[in-house]
Amino acid sequence: MNTPNQWTKKELVAYILLFISNSDLQQSVEETNYIRSRVDKKTYTNVYKQFNKDNDYQCIQNIIKVVKTHNYYENDYAELFADIKLMIYADGESNEMEEATLSFIRKILKE
């Protein structure tokens, strides 16, 4: 996979959704299916491989780097946050860790 400053918008979305869905240390089948519905199979596979190599600190740094490098959301993250919310509830329930991670992502993206 390319370096973070070369990621596409879809790669960024997949990476963030993986980060959120794994914040509670388990990714449900429903969450996986939701992420796969947002990106093509090749993108998911490539991003998943990268995500599995990275620790939490590296994930956060990658997300910050991509957001600072690209202007995919033009400082309006409503679309991204809507995707995240849908993924959080994909398995029918919200999880405190996922909600806390969403709040954290919101904070770092808006800085």
Q: Tell me if 21 sits within 8 A of 31, measured CB to CB.
A: yes
* pLDDT one-digit tens code per residue, 6-35: 999 999 999 999 999 999 888 899 999 999
- What is the four-CA torsion angle of 29, 30, 35, 39, rounded to 10 degrees? 90
Q: Tell me if 33 sits within 8 A of 90, measured CB to CB.
A: yes
- Reference 38, options 19, 20, 17, 21; nearest CA is 17
Rounded-to-integer distance, Cα 21 and Cα 90, Å: 10
pTM of the entire structure?
Answer: 0.90
Banded model confidence at residue 111, pLDDT cuts 50, 70, 90: low
Residues 6 or more apart whose CB falls under 8 angstroms from that of 3 comprise none
- For 38, the token pair is 């947002």
* pLDDT one-digit tens code per residue, 32-44: 999 999 999 999 9
Which domains does the chain show, CATH number per domain? 4-110 (1.10.3680)
